[in-house]
Structure 1
């Protein structure tokens, strides 16, 4: 089957999937079709912590998963950290180019190999307001990466992660999400940039009292007591973005 045919078949299976088991089956099929041995779709969280929850679908060896969780590597795993430095899929050979590897990182990568996991390809997943995540495809040690299938792996990984978010109810849209006026949003944005009410008033051509009122009303709409929480909620809902705040 051609790459386009494989993609269409997987997209159909993933779109129809209504449970994690359905999606695992679809991932197993496309992994085999792309000549990979393993797949792992996961949020980058500490799964050993009762306070954290996230998606994780995989067919990795059990001993690797037990070793990984015992050391609480969900956040610090080098591949997971490297995925935060790019917006497109990368082979694990590129990890040293994306982050500075520590001795612990080298130990983690070596233990993965001894557990039966060789090279891999990871597709990052960044959704504001959620834990970062990724979808990886890997081969056993000694096997060559199916480099011709990496563009297909990029598409499959991104589509699979969205399917998992749909199945698991990540960030369901709430029709009752507060909305702000344009002026309220402007004030929240400049507040998030660290400006005082007086400075915001000078920037927007308003009185300081008006700025204070806009921010007070924005907090009331979100029902939050502090401005710092207001900024976080505005980021979470996509009302403002990190690029808006940290303009270069």
Structure 2
């Protein structure tokens, strides 16, 4: 099947999947059509977690997760770390350009080879307010990546994760509550580290009024602390990291 047609067919069928098993079978077939031996579609926090809400579909060799757990390497996977450093797909051979590879990270890669997991290609999936995730396609040890098919793999991974989000009820989440203009102004200044007294001076309002605006914003997000409020508005992109973090000199 032509690869462009493969992606179209996969997208249509993925939208009809009713459970993880159906999606796993569909993705396994499509990934093998592209020439890959394994895939892993998951929220990174799903490793070592029994929470069914988290996405976890993979065809890695049995015992791989147990190996990571036994050697306390869950959380040290450099592929997962690199997924937080780029917005496009990357081959695992590019890992040194994306993250520092320390002893534990190199051990993960070495252990993978012992499970016949060689080179791979990963598509990051990072959605504000949701657990970090990715879709990886991998080869058996000693086999080369199908380089000319990586763009198709990137599209396939994106469609697959969208289908998994639907099955796990993540679609439609993350809708931020409405804040008034003054509440947004106060929250932006709060995120920049300003006190109520400083916010009042900047906006030309009383300290009590500034305090009430922040309090109403906390209530809108249903959080109990200012730190939680700042985390929420950063997640929802109401405040950018550039606004909240002072520039380095």
Regarding TM over 0.5, the answer is yes
With the length of structure 2 as denominator, give the TM-score of the two structures. Answer: 0.89
Cα distance, 1:185 vs. partner?
1.5
Q: Distance in 1 between matches of 2:233 and 2:217?
A: 10
Q: 5 Å matches for 1:1-248?
A: 1-45=1-45, 47-49=47-49, 54-170=54-170, 172-173=172-173, 178-246=177-245
CA deviation string 1:98-147 (max 9, x = no partner):
11111222221111112111100000111122221110001111211101
- 1:48–1:70 CA contact under 8 A, matched in 2: no
Q: Distance in 2 between matches of 1:181 and 1:72?
A: 47
The 1:87–1:214 alpha-carbon spacing in structure 2 relative to 1, beyond 3 Å, is same
Cα distance, 1:224 vs. partner?
2.8
Cα distance, 1:213 vs. partner?
1.5
With the length of structure 1 as denominator, give the TM-score of the two structures. Answer: 0.90
CA deviation string 1:55-88 (max 9, x = no partner):
1100000022321233454422111111111111
Structure 1 stretches of 4+ with a deviation exceeding 4 A read 49-53
User: Which SS does the other structure have where 1:178 is aligned?
Assistant: coil
- 1:42–1:56 CA contact under 8 A, matched in 2: yes
Q: Distance in 2 between matches of 1:94 and 1:103?
A: 17
The 1:243–1:2 alpha-carbon spacing in structure 2 relative to 1, beyond 3 Å, is farther
Q: Distance in 1 between matches of 2:57 and 2:148?
A: 25
Q: Distance in 2 between matches of 1:129 and 1:171?
A: 11
What number of residue pairs does the alignment pair up?
247
CA deviation string 1:189-213 (max 9, x = no partner):
2101211122223333433332112
For the aligned residue pairs, the C-alpha RMSD in angstroms reads 2.3
Cα distance, 1:222 vs. partner?
3.0
CA deviation string 1:180-236 (max 9, x = no partner):
112112211210121112222333343333211211222233333321122223334
- 2:23–2:164 CA contact under 8 A, matched in 1: yes
User: Which SS does the other structure have where 2:100 is aligned?
Assistant: coil
Question: Structure 1, unaligned stretches of length 5 or more?
Answer: none
User: Which SS does the other structure have where 1:60 is aligned?
Assistant: coil
User: Which SS does the other structure have where 2:118 is aligned?
Assistant: coil
- 2:46–2:56 CA contact under 8 A, matched in 1: no
User: Which SS does the other structure have where 1:6 is aligned?
Assistant: helix
The 1:162–1:73 alpha-carbon spacing in structure 2 relative to 1, beyond 3 Å, is farther
